[in-house]
Amino acid sequence: MLTQKQWQDVSNYSKSKLISLFDPTIIFAEKKDLRTSMQMEYKGLYIYVEDSDGKKLSNKGFLQETADNVLNGIDTVIQNIFADLQSNNIPASKVKSGTCYFDLITSVDYMSDPLQWDEKKDGVYFMWGQEYFSIFLSHQIQKMGLSKIGILDRLCVSARLPSNLWKYPEGLCYKLVCSSYSS
Same-domain pairing of 124 and 141: yes
Is the pLDDT assigned to residue 1 strictly greater than 90? no
Give the integer Cα–Cα distance in Å for 181 and 183: 7
According to the model, what pLDDT value does residue 108 have?
Answer: 96
In this structure, are 81 and 44 located in the same domain?
A: yes
d(Cα 181, Cα 116) in Å, to the nearest integer?
A: 23
Mean pLDDT of 118-138: 94
pLDDT at 65: 92
In this structure, are 14 and 97 located in the same domain? yes
Instruction: Give the residue-averaged pLDDT of 12-17.
Output: 95
Q: What is the mean pLDDT of the chain?
A: 95
pLDDT tier at 96 (50, 70, 90 boundaries)? very high
pLDDT band at 37 (very low <50, low <70, confident <90, very high): very high
In a domain, 95, yes or no: yes
What is the arithmetic mean of pLDDT over 27-53?
A: 94
Q: Do 138 and 102 contact (CB within 8 A), yes or no?
A: no
What is the extent of the structural domain holding 161? Answer: 111-176
pLDDT at 62: 96
Determine the average pLDDT of the residues in 81-86: 98
Number of structural domains found in the chain:
2
Give the pLDDT score at 29.
Answer: 87
Please give the pLDDT value at position 50: 96
In this structure, are 30 and 77 located in the same domain?
yes
At residue 82, φ and ψ (nearest 5 deg) are -60, -45
Residue 181 lies in a domain: no
From residue 126, how far is each of 1, 47, 63, 135, 141 by CA, in Å? 23, 19, 13, 6, 14
Whether 182 maps to a domain, the answer reads no
